[in-house]
Structure 1
Amino acid sequence: MVWDDLYASAFERVRRSIESIERVLLAYNTNIDALKYLRQKDLEDRVEKAGKDEVLRYADKLPKRIDNVPQLLGSILWSIKRGKAAELFVESCSTRFYMRQWGWDELRMGGQVGIMANLLGGVYGVPVIAHVPQLSSLQASLFKDGPIYVPKIENGQLGLVHPKEFNAEEESCIHYIYEFPRGFRVFDLEAPRENRFIGSADDYNPNLYIRPEFREHFDEIASNVELAIISGLQALTKENYLGPLRIVKEHIETLNGKNVPVHLEFAFTPDERVRKAILGLLDNFWSVGLNEVELASIMEVMGEKKLAEKLLLGDPADPIAVTEAMLTLAEKTGVRRVHFHTYGYYLALTDYRGEFVRDALLFAALAAAAKAKLGDVRSIEDVIKAMDVPVTEGAKTVEEILIRKYGMKDGIADVDSYQLTFIPTKIVDKPKSTVGIGDTISSSAFVGEFALR
């Protein structure tokens, strides 16, 4: 089997069919990303000035949220040391001011909803209805042209307009993203792979602010969509999660009542109580997407401590441990699809079967490689420009393990009552950016799968 041939055919199938998707609901988090590309001397100087010993405490163990500058710098070192992404809410005004003074190299669309809206609507031409917590003129300007809509109430009636036509001067929600390349060195730490740390400095997304248009007209909005992707639950805390998650549950139940498949894009959730609450909602979802850090955090609250540890031991993550964790999650929650993405390979565990699952993953991987290679994907034709990116060599070992364990053939195997689907990914050696790649993967795979049905 030649993976490049499968990649090419999967791209053609999805490109021909993706416009059949009529409308996708995206909720709840959108913001502005302020990207800072880290420089060794600058970061080392800042660590020394903030107190190196204090900073290094947090390089070993992440705080639950950021209350001071040493915690911010230590959390950045935590990500560099492991080559893993993390995101924490920045509580203190003085630390927010510090980040603003540190500055940024560029501003981009941020938030899972914003990134997915620009991809699905602005690149693939799939109509989307997006929840945008705060629609400042700057936020609106970051949306691509295309069938991207936000609800607007005029004369008591629900309408749909492009964000640029919403015409409201609301507050900007800014997240500070500290990017580093593979091999980035700071003191005696070296990044094993490229990634980033995110300091969230807005008060709307962490409280899961839901606009009145969505609260009051959700039934009508839900009647106009074919699929839904939910994200942005990760910054909730034990102090504020009950009310928002109650509304989220009502929204999911409304979508289920209209037979709309709903995907949850999971993200690292520091608060254990919130993680348990989100886990309790999973039986309402069709699908969930996560990486090894996020899957390990879910296993922890499910009482699978040893399995959680196994997930974080290897690089790439041990596929047998990943499969066991996916099975545990699916069997205990009833979620029909678990999509796992990590550096080098993706897996999907589904309670249904078909090559379309694999083809959707291949399309998603090609889109992710295109984003890494080009920085910004402007059209669906840009996706094919990643075909010359090589399939990662490291995934061969993963595939061999899955063949021996499950008898996998052409990336597909039967595991208990589920189909397990594997693909090796294409790795861009020097990506222009890693921000939004996970959202590109998950939304492309979920929507691509339904397009191929």
Structure 2
Amino acid sequence: MENWLDTYFDVLNAKLYEIKRDTGVVLGFNVNIDKIIKISSNTFAGIITPEVANQLNLEEYPTHNIIENRLDFLSCLLQSIKYERADEVITNSQELCNWVEETFQVEESKIGGQAGIIANLYNELGMKQVLLSLPHLNNELYSLLNTDILAISEEGNDYSINKISSPNSDVKLPIYHYVFEFEPGSYIVGDYTIENRRANRFILSHDMINTKLEFSKGLLVHCDKFINRYSLAIVSGFHLVNKTMNSSMSFSEIFQQIKSMLIRWREINPDLCIHLEIASTRDQELRRTIVSILFKLVDSIGLNEQELISFIEMINQELADDLKKHLTPISVFNALKQILDKYPNLRIHFHYLGYFMILSKPITSKYAIKRRRGLILASLLAAIRVKGLDTISLEDVSNIPLDISIKGSRDLDLLYQYLKANYSEGINQNEMGVFYSHFFTLVGIPTIVVNKPKRTVGLGDLISSISILYESQ
């Protein structure tokens, strides 16, 4: 543990966490409004009667991604609490959303969607060249976005890229994601008690824009004129795609324009690093489409344990079943290795409570150390965010208590012993948390522990986006 403290202190004392604020970044394709609802152990006392409790499904995990009634919604929410996992479902029912707003207390509204969250985060850190896909910008969204963010506007056959200065639409579209943040405790539901030990969140999305995978068309039509100025693109939001909102097109048809755009970006700017931030979806066909189309077009992916389980099912069902039963650093590594074996182009960033790790094809020692610094910076900024602060800055990192996860450190030690036993040819560890072999490089760090986290939504997006930003400059 002392060595990990030294490693963190080395980054802090030498200010090795600085980022270049003129790095050009393109972000898309989900921006929405998060309505935050706090859930505690006594929340359901006046909501779920014994009669309703008897109708809830707390055992069988639903396979569908779209829900339309209160019972399905409450079942999914309570299962998220029971199994201590982040989850998200979609609804097309305005009636259900009205009931949610009448029944639960909305604490505040914030910018949401992976692209929206990352855009505001980068702006808080002083980034000056953040281009965000904004096909619709009404008054509600405009009031929640930092106005130094850039957007592309089409002007006849031409275009311009400017800071967002005013809404481009006065239409009030449903782009609301109800974020239920729950805390550890005993949740009594009728005669049933759910014991929860881990703070997390559940999202109910009522979204008529991101479910259609709409994006600023100038990013495709005019990309040959500007994409060379950018070194990083982060794409996300694909888990929200809904066939019924797309005239019953197939997923392959819905993704065709995105596919064409990413291919075009790569042709124009071969040095552009494209990162895909993954989110969970129960729809197996959608997951299969994301894997088959996007994994070979991007350079990097970011995911947590639930997302790893759901997406490894598309590659190796046996490994997915093993992860569900035994989520250990060794089972996680084996799942990541399966993805890397099938898609060797990928840098795979896994973030979990206690440790982060990145698996990729072999890289140099110098680059591995840079990658480790990026993970440490992500850990520091994540610790600031979970304390509930609305804004964060690089100046705040030196004030974070370095309470490094003992379990995370032990997990990485256990994984290293496994690697040494199973990849003895060429395996070595010259630096803390960096594992080299002829076949891959693994970089892992234990994270900072924050007791009683106040904010968890968007945390994975922060971790992935800070790490890849640091690496790409």
**TM-score by structure 2 length?**
0.88
Change (3 A) 1:440 1:252: same
What letter matches 1:373 in structure 2? K
Superposition deviation, residue 210 in structure 1: 2.0
Q: Distance in 2 between matches of 1:38 and 1:17?
A: 36
Contact 1:206 1:236 in 2 (8 A): yes
What letter matches 1:28 in structure 2? F
Which of residues 402, 419, 438 in structure 2 aligns to 1:406? 419
Q: Distance in 1 between matches of 2:89 and 2:226?
A: 31
Residue aligning to 1:293: 306
181-190 vs 104-113, which moves further? 181-190
Q: Distance in 1 between matches of 2:378 and 2:46?
A: 40
Contact 1:346 1:425 in 2 (8 A): yes
Q: Residues 298-336 of structure 1: CA distance to partner in whole angstroms, max 9, x if unpaired?
A: 11111x22211222334xx31111111111101102333
Residue aligning to 2:87: 86
Instruction: Report the aligned-residue RMSD.
Output: 2.2
Residue aligning to 1:321: 331
Superposition deviation, residue 36 in structure 1: 0.4
What letter matches 1:391 in structure 2? I
Q: Distance in 2 between matches of 1:14 and 1:186?
A: 48
Change (3 A) 1:224 1:54: farther
Superposition deviation, residue 82 in structure 1: 1.5
Superposition deviation, residue 376 in structure 1: 2.3
Q: Residues 57-90 of structure 1: CA distance to partner in whole angstroms, max 9, x if unpaired?
A: 4774464221111111111111111111001111
Contact 2:344 2:360 in 1 (8 A): no
SS in 2 for 1:134: coil
SS in 1 for 2:203: strand
Which of residues 178, 203, 206 in structure 1 aligns to 2:211? 206
1:253 aligns to 2:263 (yes or no): yes
Change (3 A) 1:418 1:224: same
Q: Distance in 2 between matches of 1:144 and 1:211?
A: 18
Structure 2 gap ranges (5+) = 421-428
Residue aligning to 1:233: 238
Superposition deviation, residue 364 in structure 1: 0.8
Written as runs of structure 1 = structure 2, the 5 A alignment for 1:27-426 is: 27-48=28-49, 51-57=52-58, 60-61=61-62, 63-102=64-103, 103-146=105-148, 148-154=149-155, 156-172=157-173, 173-183=175-185, 185-187=187-189, 188-237=193-242, 239-240=248-249, 241-257=251-267, 258-259=269-270, 260-280=272-292, 281-302=294-315, 304-314=316-326, 317-351=327-361, 352-353=363-364, 354-386=368-400, 388-407=401-420, 408=429, 409-426=431-448
Q: Distance in 1 between matches of 2:58 and 2:344?
A: 39
Superposition deviation, residue 288 in structure 1: 0.5
Q: Distance in 1 between matches of 2:52 and 2:238?
A: 33
Q: Distance in 1 between matches of 2:308 and 2:128?
A: 29
Superposition deviation, residue 363 in structure 1: 0.8
Superposition deviation, residue 177 in structure 1: 0.5
Residue aligning to 1:2: 3
SS in 1 for 2:145: coil
Change (3 A) 1:141 1:384: farther
Q: Distance in 1 between matches of 2:398 and 2:128?
A: 18
What letter matches 1:310 in structure 2? D
SS in 2 for 1:109: strand
Q: Distance in 2 between matches of 1:384 and 1:120?
A: 19
SS in 2 for 1:158: strand
What letter matches 1:100 in structure 2? E
Q: Distance in 1 between matches of 2:405 and 2:274?
A: 31
Contact 2:136 2:169 in 1 (8 A): no
Q: Distance in 1 between matches of 2:205 and 2:19?
A: 37
Asked which structure has the greater CA Rg, the reply is 2
Change (3 A) 1:31 1:50: farther
Q: Give the paired residue count.
A: 445
Q: Residues 186-236 of structure 1: CA distance to partner in whole angstroms, max 9, x if unpaired?
A: 331022200010001111111211233334333334233111001000022
Contact 1:58 1:74 in 2 (8 A): no
Contact 1:34 1:176 in 2 (8 A): yes
SS in 1 for 2:18: helix
Q: Residues 423-446 of structure 1: CA distance to partner in whole angstroms, max 9, x if unpaired?
A: 001121111210110110000000
Change (3 A) 1:253 1:160: same
Q: Percent identity?
A: 28
Contact 2:384 2:392 in 1 (8 A): no
What letter matches 1:229 in structure 2? I
